[in-house]
């Protein structure tokens, strides 16, 4: 068994696609219209184009806004992305205007940082040997 797709809920799929591709460097994989303005919109790592897809799913379901708000208020990331160098990625993203809620922090062998994806989610970047 493998993880095929995972989801982050976004208020605006076009805005999310721009952020996840132009700022974070992901690549659009699927973009299928579903009606009523919604799309099956996935991105993948440029480094692993056949890897796990991230679905940029509309936040339209009534359960999503309170869920996202609770996670955000409590500082809990909706997703975690692996990077080779957290401090370097932190500096790269800050230079692009990304807002961080947690600067790089080392906890034992793991280094993390957390940023706001501009789509209502906190996202963690992590490096673990």
- Beta bridge partners, 56, equal 8
Which CATH number belongs to the domain containing residue 123 in this structure?
A: 3.10.180.10
In the predicted structure, residue 129 carries a pLDDT above the cut 90: no
Q: Could you tell me the pLDDT band of residue 4, with boundaries at 50, 70 and 90?
A: very high
Given pLDDT bands bounded at 50, 70 and 90, which one contains residue 37? confident
Tokens of 10: 């976004």
CA–CA distance, 37 with 114 (Å, rounded to integer): 30
Q: What whole-number distance in Å separates Cα of residue 48 and Cα of residue 55?
A: 15
Of 123, 119, 5, whose CA–CA distance to 65 is shortest? 119
Domain containing residue 30: 5-127
CB 54 within 8 A of CB 44: yes
Strands 100-107 and 110-116: antiparallel
- Tell me if the pTM is above 0.85: yes
Q: Among 13-17, 32-36, 70-74, 89-93, where is mean pLDDT lowest?
A: 32-36
Q: State how many domains the chain has.
A: 1
53 contacts: CB under 8 Å, gap ≥ 6: 4, 5, 6, 29, 30, 42, 43, 44
pLDDT in tens, 98-122: 999 999 999 999 999 999 999 999 9
Per-residue pLDDT reduced to its tens digit, 41-73:
999 999 999 999 999 999 989 999 999 999 999
The three-class DSSP label of residue 47 is coil
Handedness of CA 56, 128, 84, 104 (dihedral sign): positive
């Amino acid at each position: 068994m493998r993880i095929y797709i995972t989801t982050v809920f976004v208020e605006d799929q076009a805005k999310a696609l721009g952020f996840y591709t132009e700022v974070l460097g992901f690549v659009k994989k699927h973009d299928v219209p579903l009606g009523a303005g919604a799309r099956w919109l996935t991105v993948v790592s440029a480094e692993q184009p056949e890897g796990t897809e991230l679905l940029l799913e509309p936040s339209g379901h009534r359960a999503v806004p309170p869920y996202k708000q609770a996670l955000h208020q409590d500082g809990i990331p909706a997703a975690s992305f692996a990077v080779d160098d957290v401090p370097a990625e932190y500096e790269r993203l800050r230079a692009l205007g990304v807002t961080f809620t947690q600067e790089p922090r080392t906890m034992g062998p793991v280094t993390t940082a957390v940023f706001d994806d501009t789509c209502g989610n906190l996202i963690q970047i992590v490096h673990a040997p």
